[in-house]
Amino acid sequence: MSETGTQTVRFVRDTMLPEAAPPASQSGAVKWLRENLFSGWLNTILTILGALVLFQILRGLVPWFAHSVWNAQTLGECRQIIAETWGEGARGACLAVVRDRWTQWTFGFYPAHLYWRPVLALVLLFAALAPILFSAVPRRLMAFSALFPFVGYWLLWGGTIWTPVVALAGFVVGYAVWRGMAKRNALAAVLLAVAAALVWWLFLAGPVERALAGVAPLALESVRSSSFGGFVLALTIGVSAISLSLPLGIMLALGRQSDMFLIKTLSVCFIEFIRGVPLITLLFTASLLLNYFLPPGTNFDIILRVIIMVTLFAAAYIAEVIRGGLAALPRGQYEAADALGLDYFQAQRLIVLPQALKISIPGIVSTFIGLFKDTTLVVFVGLLDPLKGITDAVRASTDWKGIYWEPYIFVGFIFFLFCFGMSRYSMYLERRLKRDHR
Amino acid sequence: METIERAVDTSHMKVSDEVAIQISQMNKWYGQFHVLRDINLTVNRGERIVICGPSGSGKSTLIRCINRLEEHQSGQIVVDGTELTSDLKNIDKVRSEVGMVFQHFNLFPHLTILENCTLAPIWVRKVPKAEAEETAMHFLRKVKIPEQANKYPGQLSGGQQQRVAIARSLCMKPRIMLFDEPTSALDPEMIKEVLDTMISLAEEGMTMLCVTHEMGFAQAVANRVVFMDQGQIVEQNTPREFFNNPQSERTKLFLSQILGH
């Protein structure tokens, strides 16, 4: 065997090795602990410190939740129950406030006998979202998703059914004009369609609505915007602004990339202005300044104004997130689309946006989550948001005066459910759209 | 040069007198940099032209001007009787007649192979979906990868992706094909499969302009070799004359460098 060294220089493999299973990984709790928690003296110290901090937090929290009381009418009664059960000086959560006042957090001052309307609207909202969010749901249900804004509006605010119907008719008018013109000149068709729809909404919708209401007075009891509050308000603003800001943000992002000077400049100015101003400023503008500028007697609904402002605010951020996605696309994708003869809109819709939006999903969803939480800022323009508006109202009542942590924990928990849901959905979507196999 | 193993018989590949591409006095600048200088080039229908030259000589820019991925600033480019100006209608018309294959394939990663091939026929040519799929499968069989139709580009090897890119262009039934260094991004083992596909395309009489460093391909298939340097056409000749009897010093230097080892 002494000549092995020289023998191995000439080597020809005559059989290829079969594929073999990897060695069984050494597992076990002890190994995991040593690798992850005690791999060195520094990590050991950090682990012990972490455990101490965790212990301190849990020592406060666990008894507080364990002593919680769900059945009480007032804060005094609740504290008395805790003292009687767990001894003088024991601390516990008075979650009874949630049980006593959850309708207020949910519906604000919406009339109690009409609670079924927001609930039905919420159920229909999920039905409308299903075909948009999940590809397994039949595409035909999208028709209902398109109708939902009008149905939802009618359920929430009530009034004559002809208001949403006439508003919807504006879109039909615009579409009809576009259909009629599209063959001759695409750009003129779009402009005329928008003009026709605006004429309809501004001048014709009112008289038509009154005439129809006179003939067939189909109406729900109307609810004023000032009665809205709590999560109904947060969801109304949040869902509307989310669904409106995505298309607007896409248009702004494409506008910012445009070769056309005017469109590019307008998009850049809009984005930079909106991003440079705090949301509260925009909300104050919506609630106060617009009243000075609009003709006296105009009743421009406050929730609608807030939705518009929140939408514009979120759209500017989404535009920037999507611009990041557009920038991440290799130039070759645009060139291949051009070389195949696709026009600008086809290339954007079929090649560029599907890829850019996929890249932007985490950023877009982060913006949506931020937007939803920012809806609590409407408290500054006198609307009753769940976090401060309703909580202050509850804490101002004689029954629950002095309660502090429990309402905030409850509201925070509900917000967490929605935001965590959105976050998980974004991860699901990313997994589903993962196709590059890199 | 060893990549082309099969003998290519070019005798039956007739070149017609009809002009496919006419470039005259064409100039292009990138800012102050004069990339293309006084380019004059006429390509007849059925001709197979290989454009070669050192990097930065403007050869890719030249063929990218032919479907206006790059804009020229002076002179004239007429493709299939349509002059390329800033008129978008003319540009779209030319682009749908001219197929292009890129160095980095540029397949659409979010679409399957079949969808990559049917997208443009459906949206640009307004071909019904079933018919577009049939055509796509025909060309995928031709480039010998019909079994990959439902995979995504990321699951294919580089050579397979480039063959799909060729099939994707062919699905538009182009009259002219442009190849921009189609084998430069491929492993040596995969170059042959792509060249074979291009050879069979040439044998069918396709008008081809090909920027490539594959001199074997040029000798086997091309009926003209165009040599460029510093944005100018330095020499053009038949492959035999070009390789055996180069005229300009620059050409001799270039050939000695790429064939010398």
CB–CB of A333 and B106 under 8 A? yes
Helix or strand (DSSP H, E) at B198: helix B188-203
For A79, A90, A201, the CA distances from A60, given in Å and listed in that order, are: 17, 11, 59
Of residues B92, B105, B109, nearest to A341 (C-beta) = B92
Looking up tokens 């003319």, which residue turns up? B90
Q: Is A355 on the interface with B (CB under 8 A)?
A: yes
CB–CB of B172 and A343 under 8 A? no
B90 CB neighbours in chain A (<8 A) are none
Nearest alpha-carbon partner for A403 in A413, A394, A390: A394
Contact B23, B50 (CB under 8 A): no
Q: What pLDDT was estimated at residue A92?
A: 87
Count, residues in chain B? 261
Strand segments, DSSP code E, in A219-366 are 219-220
Contacts of A387 (CB under 8 A, 6+ apart): A376, A379, A408, A411, A412, A415
Residue A276 phi/psi, 5-degree rounding, is -85, 0
B99 CB neighbours in chain A (<8 A) are 339
Question: In the structure encoding, which two tokens stand for residue A101, read together?
Answer: 């006042």
- AA identity, residue A301: D
Question: In the structure encoding, which two tokens stand for residue A6, read together?
Answer: 């020289």
Separation in Å, CA of A261 to nearest CA in chain B: 17
Q: What pLDDT was estimated at residue A55?
A: 96
B123 CB neighbours in chain A (<8 A) are 342, 346, 350
CATH number belonging to the domain at A227-433, selected among 1.10.3720.10, 3.40.50.1950, 3.40.50.1470, 3.40.50.300: 1.10.3720.10
The residues that bridge with B74 in the sheet, in sequence order, are B27
Q: What pLDDT was estimated at residue A438?
A: 47
pLDDT digits (tens, 9 = 90+) for A185-242: 777 888 889 999 999 888 888 888 888 888 888 888 888 888 899 999 999 999 999 9
Of residues B95, B154, B172, nearest to A338 (C-beta) = B95
Q: Residue B122 in 3-state DSSP? A: helix
Separation in Å, CA of B108 to nearest CA in chain A: 7
Mutate to test the interface with B, among A259, A260, A340 (most CBs of B within 10 A): A340
CB–CB of B110 and A354 under 8 A? yes
**Percent of chain A clearing pLDDT 90 (strictly above):** 50
Contact B127, B180 (CB under 8 A): no
CB–CB of B102 and A336 under 8 A? yes
Whole-angstrom distance, CA of residue A301 vs CA of residue B62? 60
Domain ranges of chain A: 62-94, 159-220, 227-433
Sign of CA dihedral B58, B60, B63, B65: negative
Whole-angstrom distance, CA of residue B200 vs CA of residue B221? 10
Nearest alpha-carbon partner for B80 in B70, B90, B71, B68: B90
Helices B158-170 and B113-123: crossing angle in degrees, nearest 10, is: 20
CB–CB of B172 and A437 under 8 A? no
Q: Is A387 on the interface with B (CB under 8 A)?
A: no
- AA identity, residue A417: L
CA end-to-end span of chain A: 47
Residue A74 DSSP symbol: S
For A318, A320, A387, B256, the CA distances from A279, given in Å and listed in that order, are: 15, 17, 17, 68
What is the average pLDDT value for chain A, to the nearest integer? 88
Please report, in tens digits, the pLDDT of each residue of chain B (261 residues total).
Answer: 445 655 666 666 667 778 899 999 999 999 899 999 999 999 999 899 999 999 889 999 999 999 999 999 999 999 988 898 888 888 988 998 899 999 999 999 999 999 999 999 999 999 999 999 999 999 999 999 999 999 999 999 999 999 999 999 999 999 999 999 999 888 888 898 899 999 989 888 899 999 998 888 888 889 899 999 999 999 999 998 999 888 899 999 998 888 765
Separation in Å, CA of B34 to nearest CA in chain A: 22
Q: Is A332 on the interface with B (CB under 8 A)?
A: yes
Q: What pLDDT was estimated at residue A1?
A: 46
Separation in Å, CA of B111 to nearest CA in chain A: 8
Mutate to test the interface with A, among B106, B152, B175, B180 (most CBs of A within 10 A): B106
Q: What are the average pLDDT values for consecutive 10-residue runs of chain A, which has 438 residues?
A: 57 83 69 82 92 94 88 89 85 89 91 93 93 87 91 91 89 89 80 90 85 84 89 94 95 93 95 94 84 70 90 95 94 93 91 93 94 93 90 90 90 95 93 72
pTM of the model: 0.85
CB–CB of B110 and A350 under 8 A? no
A338 CB neighbours in chain B (<8 A) are 67, 69, 95
Characterize the bridge pairing of strands B207-211 and B82-83: unpaired
Mutate to test the interface with A, among B95, B160, B176 (most CBs of A within 10 A): B95
CB–CB of A330 and B109 under 8 A? no
Q: Is B100 on the interface with A (CB under 8 A)?
A: yes
A325 CB neighbours in chain B (<8 A) are none
Which residue on chain A is closest to B67 by alpha carbon?
A339
Q: Is B69 on the interface with A (CB under 8 A)?
A: yes
For A247, A365, B257, the CA distances from A311, given in Å and listed in that order, are: 10, 14, 62
Contact A256, A326 (CB under 8 A): no
Characterize the bridge pairing of strands B19-30 and B74-79: antiparallel
Q: Residue B31 in 3-state DSSP? A: coil
Q: What pLDDT was estimated at residue B1?
A: 46
Sign of CA dihedral A24, A30, A36, A38: negative
Q: What is the CB-side half-sphere exposure of residue A339 using CA atoms within 13 A?
A: 33
Of residues A335, A436, A437, nearest to B106 (C-beta) = A335
Looking up tokens 């989550």, which residue turns up? A369
Q: Residue B72 in 3-state DSSP? A: coil
Whole-angstrom distance, CA of residue B243 vs CA of residue B256? 10
